[in-house]
Homo-oligomer: A and B are copies of this chain.
Amino acid sequence: MLVLLVEDNRDLAASVLDFLELQGFDCDYAQRGDHALQLCQDNNYEAMILDIMMPGLDGLNLCRELRAQGKNAPIIFLTARDTLEDKLEGFDAGADDYLVKPFDLPELEARLKAISKRRTANSTSLKVADLEANLDNHEVFRNKQRIDLSPACWKLLIALMQASPRVLSRQELESVLWKDSPPDSEALKSHMYTLRKQVDKPFDKNLIHTLRGVGVALRDTSDA
């Protein structure tokens, strides 16, 4: 995971970098806000840790600029400014978290992970309600019970889980299986039928919901 640290205090930066790299993060470092902005044009950081008071471009404006550019990687402010107003200004600038100095390195790590976990689409396991899919070993469990799926059903389920709770249209589902040249038959219905039979039928709560005229959604709706 590639992280950018922007901090004008070299000593502090060094200890943070040491720690994060020890924990397995890939880190880039900038000492000035304007340099950081430059780095962001060329790299796709998965998270950023920003000081506020810095030469060149302060952290708040750096954050605002990045957000204005449509970059929405998680941002944590790391600063000595600890008043309520400071914090609100930070969140208002588009930050995801705000940590006041002095701080513990493990807390920074925990917050970094917490804030990044939502974006990690490359996570090896998907979970929706009691349904779990492990992308690495190609396994699906519901309620701790293994489910064997055919390749087609697997693809459909993964697509639905990744989209959850969004609805996928018939067309989107077809393109999952056949890219852009779907058979001119009702093959999709067939596969969906098989998928439901395995994923929903044996259990007392349906996760696969049909939205007539729209498509299919996989979600945990608390109602019937």
Interface residues of A (CB under 8 A from B): 41-44, 69-72, 84, 87-88, 91-92, 95-97, 104, 106-107, 110-111, 113-115, 118-119, 121, 123, 127-132, 136-138, 146, 150-151, 154, 165-167, 211-215, 217, 219-223
Name A43's closest neighbour in chain B (CB-CB).
Answer: B222
Name A75's closest neighbour in chain B (CB-CB).
Answer: B114
Nearest CB in chain B: distance from A183 CB, A: 18
B150 with A165: CB separation less than 8 A: no
B151 with A212: CB separation less than 8 A: yes
Q: Which residues of B contact A106 (CB under 8 A)?
A: 84, 88
B132 with A70: CB separation less than 8 A: yes
From B72, B130, B223, contact of A121 by CB (8 A): B72
Q: Which residues of B contact A123 (CB under 8 A)?
A: 166
B165 with A137: CB separation less than 8 A: yes
Q: Which residues of B contact A219 (CB under 8 A)?
A: 137
27 A/B residue pairs, CB under 8 Å, sorted by A? A41-B222, A42-B222, A43-B222, A44-B221, A69-B129, A70-B127, A70-B129, A70-B130, A70-B131, A72-B118, A84-B106, A84-B107, A87-B110, A88-B106, A88-B107, A91-B114, A96-B115, A97-B97, A118-B119, A136-B166, A137-B166, A137-B217, A138-B167, A138-B217, A146-B221, A151-B214, A154-B214
